[in-house]
Amino acid sequence: GEDVEQSLFLSVREGDSSVINCTYTDSSSTYLYWYKQEPGAGLQLLTYIFSNMDMKQDQRLTVLLNKKDKHLSLRIADTQTGDSAIYFCAERRAGNMLTFGGGTRLMVKP
């Protein structure tokens, strides 16, 4: 299919790691992105990875890319209550347009 798929919901305890998964569809995608959206707010670019990489680390965030399975994940270490938000993965296809997943709502319990 043409959809970028994400699970709807993830709940973790403060201090634990969160792993948000995404499957995408286009093997020729050049970049893959993670955006964070807090209630009523815009899309904040968290991190992105070029398709020839399989891992990228940025402070508490680790992105893993499995091109063979078209699987992308975002790991948040030491998850805090301020990390509660909706997380969108997106793939950049031809023409530089992004196709978004439906978003994963992360709830962090104190």
Partner 1 sequence: EPEVTQTPSHQVTQMGQEVILRCVPISNHLYFYWYRQILGQKVEFLVSFYNNEISEKSEIFDDQFSVERPDGSNFTLKIRSTKLEDSAMYFCAGYGTGSSGELFFGEGSRLTVL
Contact residues toward partner 1 (CB under 8 A) are: 30-31, 33, 35, 41-45, 48, 50, 88, 90, 92, 95-103
Length of the chain measured in residues:
110
- Report, in Å, the least distance between residue 37 CB and partner 1: 9
Residue 90 contacts residue 101 (beta carbons within 8 Å):
yes
- Report, in Å, the least distance between residue 15 CB and partner 1: 27
Angstrom distance (rounded) from CA 110 to CA 46: 23
- Report, in Å, the least distance between residue 5 CB and partner 1: 11
Dihedral (CA of 42, 47, 53, 54) sign: negative
Of 6, 52, 49, 30, the closest CA to residue 98 belongs to 30
When the beta carbons of 24 and 33 are compared against partner 1, the nearer one is 33
When the beta carbons of 73 and 99 are compared against partner 1, the nearer one is 99
Angstrom distance (rounded) from CA 75 to CA 64: 8
- Report, in Å, the least distance between residue 35 CB and partner 1: 7
When the beta carbons of 16 and 56 are compared against partner 1, the nearer one is 56
